């Protein structure tokens, strides 16, 4: 395979292909648009889509992880902490439970969405319409919506491959650092010039997008796109920390207690997954896990590899090697 054949592929697929070539595995690009490849070495053939969809996982395991309601049920049954909450299918149903959420911090998210789409984090709800507006918007992405308690702490992505966690990231929400001269919009434009940032997962980081989500979040702090932050002032542009929405990735693999890694592995096994990304909120990474200091907020059936190889801060974990090891190459 020629290097130009890799152009346009997701970066996770590119690094997997390069490692396969290093191992003298024959690589065939079957469908470039779908990042679908075939690996062959002797009689051993594997089909892989988007770097982490492989024969190691069953179809039902991905369906469980795709459905946040089912994921929570399975994790709870396995005595793994998850946020408390309810599932609703209409604004009217949400209104019936409004008393549960007044004066509290909550998260509203579609049952099966990815990349943080349709997710709202609402702080100290004082009126019903704030909740119902968020539910109405989230229902555009799915026919069922989760309303959950907001779990305080920092969010970490645990990459589980087989029986180990080869990489952990802390994901920081999209942000800019003020210089006392440029507006928020101008600072975003400057940050987006970084060659590490692009669109469509072909680069280590995604460009920051300024949409109504960012506009509304800034408004909470009485800021707007033309506000000029003070020198060295960090301005966060949204609450959720997805890399796909311009967040920064910081490697924490060597800083997290092994007990949390074992929880991530247990969570993956509970849904029958060999490869998954466990998103865990942890209050203090130096404290051992207990019934109240961590919570798994999501399991992802198609976790990105490249964010662990090219973090915004930290070292390359070469996680593609673990995928090929798992597949028996």
Residue 106, domain CATH = 3.30.1490.20
Supply the DSSP symbol for 170.
Answer: E
42, two tokens: 């002797």
What pLDDT is stored for residue 310 in this prediction?
92
Residue tagged 């796909």 (tokens): 244
The answer as to whether 69 is a domain residue is no
Per-residue tens of pLDDT for the chain, all 329 residues: 767 778 889 999 999 999 999 999 999 999 999 999 999 999 999 999 999 999 999 999 999 999 888 999 999 999 999 998 888 888 888 888 888 888 888 888 888 766 567 788 888 888 888 888 888 888 888 888 888 888 889 999 999 999 999 999 998 889 999 999 999 999 999 999 998 888 888 888 889 989 888 898 898 888 999 999 999 999 999 877 777 788 888 999 999 999 999 999 999 999 999 999 999 999 999 999 998 899 999 999 999 999 999 998 999 999 999 999 999 99
Distance CA 173, CA 149 (A): 19
Domain that holds residue 127: 84-150
Rounded to a whole number of angstroms, the distance between the first and last alpha carbons of the chain is 18
What pLDDT is stored for residue 96 in this prediction?
85
Q: Lay out the sheet containing 164-172: strands in order across.
A: 248-251, 164-172, 154-161, 275-282, 294-300
Q: What is the longest distance spanned by two Cα atoms in the chain?
A: 64
Q: Are residues 45 and 99 in the same domain?
A: no
Q: Are residues 88 and 45 in the same domain?
A: no
The answer as to whether 29 is a domain residue is yes
Beta strand spans in 141-190 (E) = 145-149, 154-161, 164-172, 175-177
Distance CA 219, CA 225 (A): 9
253, two tokens: 């693999």
What pLDDT is stored for residue 142 in this prediction?
85
Beta bridge partners, 269, equal none
The answer as to whether 293 is a domain residue is no
The answer as to whether 22 is a domain residue is yes
What pLDDT is stored for residue 115 in this prediction?
59
- Which residue, among 306, 192, 303, has the nearest Cα to 245 in the 3D structure? 192
The answer as to whether 46 is a domain residue is yes
Find the radius of gyration of the CA atoms of the chain.
20
The answer as to whether 231 is a domain residue is yes
- Which residue, among 87, 71, 92, has the nearest Cα to 148 in the 3D structure? 87
Q: Are residues 190 and 228 in the same domain?
A: yes
DSSP characters over 183-244: -HHHHHHHHTTSTTEESSSSSSEEPP---HHHHHHHHHTT--TT--PPTT-EEE--S---GG
Q: Are residues 105 and 48 in the same domain?
A: no
Q: Count of domains in the chain? A: 3
The answer as to whether 71 is a domain residue is no
Beta bridge partners, 156, equal 170, 280
Q: Are residues 183 and 224 in the same domain?
A: yes
Judge contact between 72 and 48, C-beta under 8 A.
no
Beta bridge partners, 129, equal none
Distance CA 295, CA 290 (A): 10
Q: Lay out the sheet containing 120-122: strands in order across.
A: 85-88, 145-149, 106-110, 120-122
Distance CA 324, CA 177 (A): 39
Distance CA 47, CA 2 (A): 20
Q: Are residues 92 and 144 in the same domain?
A: yes
The answer as to whether 243 is a domain residue is no
Q: Are residues 126 and 88 in the same domain?
A: yes
Distance CA 319, CA 312 (A): 16
Residues found in the chain: 329
């Amino acid at each position: 395979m020629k290097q130009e054949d890799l152009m346009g592929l997701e970066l996770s697929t590119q690094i997997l292909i390069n490692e396969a070539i290093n191992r003298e595995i024959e690589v065939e690009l079957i469908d470039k648009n779908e990042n679908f490849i075939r690996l062959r070495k002797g009689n051993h053939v594997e089909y892989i889509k988007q770097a982490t969809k492989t024969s190691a996982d069953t179809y039902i395991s991905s369906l469980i992880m795709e459905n946040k309601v089912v994921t929570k049920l399975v994790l709870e049954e396995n005595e793994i902490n998850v946020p408390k909450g309810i599932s609703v299918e209409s604004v009217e149903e949400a209104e019936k439970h409004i008393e549960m959420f007044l004066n509290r911090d909550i998260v509203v998210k579609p049952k099966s969405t990815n990349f943080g789409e349709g997710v709202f984090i609402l702080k100290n709800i004082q009126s019903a319409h704030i909740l119902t507006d968020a539910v109405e918007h989230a229902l555009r992405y799915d026919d069922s919506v989760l309303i959950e308690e907001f779990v305080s702490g920092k969010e970490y992505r645990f990459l589980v491959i087989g029986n180990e966690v080869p990489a952990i990231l802390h994901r920081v929400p999209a942000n800019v650092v003020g210089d006392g001269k440029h507006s928020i919009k101008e600072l975003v434009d400057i940050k987006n010039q970084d060659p590490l940032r692009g669109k469509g997962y072909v680069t280590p980081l995604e460009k920051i997008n300024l949409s109504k989500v960012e506009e509304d979040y800034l408004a909470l702090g009485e800021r707007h796109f033309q506000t000029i932050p003070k020198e060295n002032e960090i301005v966060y542009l949204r609450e959720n920390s997805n890399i796909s929405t311009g967040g920064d990735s910081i490697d924490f693999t060597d800083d997290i207690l092994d007990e949390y890694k074992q929880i991530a592995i247990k969570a993956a096994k509970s849904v029958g997954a060999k490869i998954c990304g466990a998103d865990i909120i942890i209050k203090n990474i130096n404290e051992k896990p207990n019934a109240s200091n961590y919570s798994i907020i999501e399991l992802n059936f198609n976790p990105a590899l490249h964010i662990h190889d090219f973090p915004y801060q930290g070292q390359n974990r070469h996680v593609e090697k673990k995928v090929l090891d798992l597949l028996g190459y």
